[in-house]
Amino acid sequence: MSENHDPATAIGSVSHYFTHLSVAAVQLDEPLRVGDRIHIVGHTTDLVQSVDSMQVDHQPIEQASPGDDVALHVDDHVREHDKIYREESASEETPAT
């Protein structure tokens, strides 16, 4: 899927997973916006997806700040302590010269 990530570059971690809702409770260390592409990695987790929706206290939000606890809809099962990384989009990557 994606290259290995340095754990120091994680933007947050999963604190809980709600199976019946496919929602991960996430504690953020860096800002996150709807539309960002993320990579969730753990011992048995390897999921790349876009942030389609995010909530704080059951209210939809467009962006979250470091220290926020947010709920993210996820495409697959994730686990507590999985790390979340921001994926670089093709437009942000610098072409090789």
pLDDT-above-70 percentage for the chain: 88
Q: What is the CATH number of the domain that holds 61?
A: 2.40.30.10
- The pLDDT score that the predictor gives to residue 6 is 87
Domain that holds residue 42: 7-86
CA angle at 78 for the pair 76 and 40, rounded to the nearest 5°: 90
DSSP code string of 38-74: EEEE-SS-EEEEE---EEETTEE-SEE-TT-EEEEE-
Residue 1 confidence class, pLDDT cut points 50, 70, 90: very low
Distance CA 81, CA 53 (A): 21
In-domain check, residue 92: no
In-domain check, residue 91: no
DSSP code string of 6-41: -GGG--EEEEEEETTTTEEEEEESS-EETT-EEEEE
Q: For the residues 52-63, what does the mean pLDDT come to?
A: 96
pTM for the whole structure: 0.84
Distance CA 20, CA 88 (A): 30
